[in-house]
Amino acid sequence: MDDLAEVEAAEEGLTKQIRNALEAEDAERLNALLDPLPYSEALREVLTLSADERDRLLNLVPTELAAELIEEAPNEMAVDLVERMEPERAADVLEELDSDVQADVIGEMDEEDAEAILSEMDEDEAADVRRLAAYEDGTAGGLMMSEVFRFPDRATVGAVLRMVASDDADFDRYRGQHPYVTDPDGRPVGVVSLRSLLTAKRSAALTSIMIEPLTVTVDTTLEVLEDIFDEHPFLGVPVVDEAGILVGVVSRTAVSDAVLERSESESLKRQGVVGDELRSMPLWLRSRRRLAWLSANIVLNVIAASVISAYEETLAAVIALAVFLPMVSDMSGCSGNQAVGVTMRELSLGLVRPVDAFRVWLKEISVGVINGIALGILIGIVAWLWKGNPALGLVIGLALALNTMLAVSIGGVVPLLLKRVGQDPAAASGPLLTTITDMAGFFLVLSLATLMMPWLLR
């Protein structure tokens, strides 16, 4: 705890120093405070400030630091931060970033804001960004950068070496790329390995040492790109458009970042958080987004509760049932959620596809039968001993057993069916599952109790 208190004190000191420097409009001091921190810590400090202070800070610090903060921020936050800058400043900051990051930020903006910034940018660069921003997220076009380490097919090894040896700032943007060779139409015809580059004569033609490149098209999906980088040690893959012209390179890093982002956004959606919420966003936005999801959920809850309402007479006769209704629905919901979790994981690993629904169901129902019986016996004994009524134990136990089997069946299969009909399994599986298992749980408990009424009242 002492350590934590110390960290806390040191941090408060830092935040205060940043505030003071901001108050004094001391750009140098701000840079000296923020630049040595890892980007994630610098961003955390910036997000601790009020929105207004944030805006002033991003306008004051050097464009390189502002660009690093924008790049580190999750995309929606980055868009917000850039939109709030003056277009001229925003253009300067964006020009520090790679084209794929530029396109991600510009692509999410209101068209008006985007155009205001683009018109301040270098014309060629703006054209590049416009082109990249038009590609779909999650495709090679949406992930690629337009900076390509390319050479015409008449170039020699020496030309490449001169480029590497030069202090041309652009070379840093090609980091990790191998030289690609293009024909006069711009089609990629070869790629040169480091090994052959190091061992060839300087006067040798690139065409004499190049090998045929593996290429993807602008609409190649993230899944296919994952497979390619899994199987090959490449750091980047060249991307061609419909006409076969080389238009960009997708890097291994861009693909693994996109996979991580997809996984985290799915995980959030499963918790009912739609969009990219961070607590530094405006209150009304956070509140409205969460409410939208909750309001849909309330409707589903009312539908489920109407089952209870239909059996009020049974409930009135055996009030102890009310104690177990939430338990049965909650426990089945948990079992079903486990099944959803495993299916989502197998989907993301590529181990199941929508066509495997039946096979998945067979695997799930086996677990469901075992766990249903085990949990049913457990809760049945609890109900019996607690309320001293064996018939109550039988009703509750049987209801939980059956509802567990139903829940794992639905939980295992629903994500696959949603995917099959083109819906998002991460966002919709949970609410769908819970509504069905709630309704079925209430119905099973109350209808079994109605059937068993003579024994329950004995």
Distance CA 378, CA 303 (A): 29
Amino acid at 372: G
Nearest CA-CA partner of 449 in 330, 333, 311, 329: 311
The secondary element (H helix, E strand) that includes residue 391 is helix 390-420
C-alpha distance across the termini of the chain, in Å? 58
- Shortest spacing between CB 123 and its own copies, in angstroms: 28
Q: Is the dihedral of CA 262, 266, 272, 278 positive or negative?
A: negative
Q: Which is nearer to its own copies, 117 or 304 (CB)?
A: 304
- The tokens describing 144, both together, are 């690629």
Distance CA 23, CA 88 (A): 23
Amino acid at 64: E
- Rounding to the nearest 10 degrees, give the CA dihedral for residues 120, 122, 127, 133: -60
Q: Which is nearer to its own copies, 42 or 117 (CB)?
A: 42
Q: Which is nearer to its own copies, 102 or 280 (CB)?
A: 280
Q: Which is nearer to its own copies, 182 or 329 (CB)?
A: 329
Nearest CA-CA partner of 145 in 49, 65, 257: 257
- Shortest spacing between CB 115 and its own copies, in angstroms: 30
The tally of CA atoms less than 13 A away on the side-chain side of residue 300 is 15
- Shortest spacing between CB 127 and its own copies, in angstroms: 26
- Residue 206 near residue 181, CB atoms below 8 Å: yes
- Shortest spacing between CB 245 and its own copies, in angstroms: 26
- Shortest spacing between CB 15 and its own copies, in angstroms: 11
Question: Residue 191: beta bridge partners?
Answer: 180, 211
Question: Angle at CA 343, nearest 5°, toward 338 and 347?
Answer: 150
Can you tell me whether residue 103 is helix, strand or coil? helix
Q: Which is nearer to its own copies, 211 or 351 (CB)?
A: 351
Q: Which is nearer to its own copies, 35 or 55 (CB)?
A: 35
- Shortest spacing between CB 116 and its own copies, in angstroms: 29
Determine the angle formed by the axes of helices 87-94 and 99-107, rounding to 10 degrees.
Answer: 140
Q: Which is nearer to its own copies, 342 or 418 (CB)?
A: 342
Q: Which is nearer to its own copies, 182 or 371 (CB)?
A: 371
- Shortest spacing between CB 49 and its own copies, in angstroms: 12
- Shortest spacing between CB 46 and its own copies, in angstroms: 10
